[in-house]
């Protein structure tokens, strides 16, 4: 039987709500259930709201070097790169992830040239998922978008790695509002639970096995001329 003790794992939950703290956030309310599952199994969990930090737009690690007077992203770098598990949470606006979430993904991309000790892209051997809330359509669209973005950056995306809740079309209660029945949704409870456990299991498998082998996946080796059996190499 697989171990369900994950005290060697760390997770970072980034809530990309448009609401600054301490405003109530529906996305935070749903993410809290995933956080609770992880903490009950020993994962060291870190949480932040991206909008509480002056994150500048751009795709450089420090946008102050590109002319912006301030940038909150460099102060978050160690928290992001130190996490075995990353969970991005986003509300849905006009069928899309929030503008804050887009900015966070762009800033994650800023590290795309960095490598780990094995010469792989820096997000290799880390796992990622997403939590999405909204009043209408867009849950699977946003999940699809984030899943592609995160794997492109190098994260490992396990099965069923997104969870969410959407209300009826038109104005109505949001996830955490009275009468929404959101927290009682069996479908949402199941998808969130499975997402959380898949993230923990996959992160543990990668960490305890030494990660994805560097042979065939090392960008530094490629730059040094290694072609890993490519027929035109």
- H or E element: which one contains 204? helix 186-209
Rg of the chain over all Cα atoms, to the nearest angstrom? 18
- Contact, 89 vs 16, CB < 8 A? yes
In tens digits, the chain (233 residues) has pLDDT values of: 677 899 999 999 999 999 999 999 999 999 999 999 999 999 999 999 999 999 999 999 999 999 999 999 999 999 999 999 999 999 999 999 999 999 999 999 999 999 999 999 999 999 999 999 998 789 999 999 999 999 999 999 999 999 999 998 888 899 999 999 999 999 999 999 999 999 999 999 999 999 999 999 999 999 999 999 999 98
Number of independent structural domains in the chain: 1
Q: Which structural domain range is residue 56 located in? A: 10-223
CATH number at residue 61: 3.40.50.360
Task: Provide the pairing of β-strand 10-15 with 85-93.
Answer: parallel
* Closest to 15 in 3D by CA, of 133, 112, 122: 133
Decide if 35 is inside a domain.
yes
Decide if 152 is inside a domain.
yes
Decide if 231 is inside a domain.
no
Q: Tokens 């770098």, residue?
A: 77
């Amino acid at each position: 039987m697989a171990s369900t003790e994950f005290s060697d794992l760390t997770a970072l939950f980034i809530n990309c709500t448009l609401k600054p703290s301490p405003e109530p956030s529906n996305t935070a309310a749903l993410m809290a259930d995933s956080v609770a599952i992880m903490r009950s199994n020993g994962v060291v969990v870190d949480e932040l709201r991206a909008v509480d930090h002056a994150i500048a737009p751009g795709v450089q690690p420090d946008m102050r070097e590109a002319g912006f007077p301030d940038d909150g992203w460099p102060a978050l770098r160690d928290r992001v790169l130190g996490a075995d598990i990353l969970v991005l949470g986003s509300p849905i606006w006009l069928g899309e992830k929030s503008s804050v979430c887009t900015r966070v993904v762009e800033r994650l991309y800023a590290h795309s040239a960095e490598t780990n000790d094995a010469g792989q892209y820096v997000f290799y051997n880390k796992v990622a998922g997403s939590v999405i809330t909204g009043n209408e359509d867009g849950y699977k669209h946003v999940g699809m978008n984030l899943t592609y973005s995160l794997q492109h950056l190098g994260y490992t995306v396990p099965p069923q790695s997104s969870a969410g809740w959407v209300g009826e079309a038109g104005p109505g209660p949001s996830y955490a509002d009275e009468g929404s029945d959101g927290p009682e949704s069996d479908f949402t409870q199941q998808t969130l639970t499975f997402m959380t456990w898949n993230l923990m299991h996959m992160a543990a498998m990668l960490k305890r096995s030494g990660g994805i082998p560097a042979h065939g996946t090392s960008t530094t080796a490629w730059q040094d001329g290694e072609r890993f059996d490519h027929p035109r190499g």
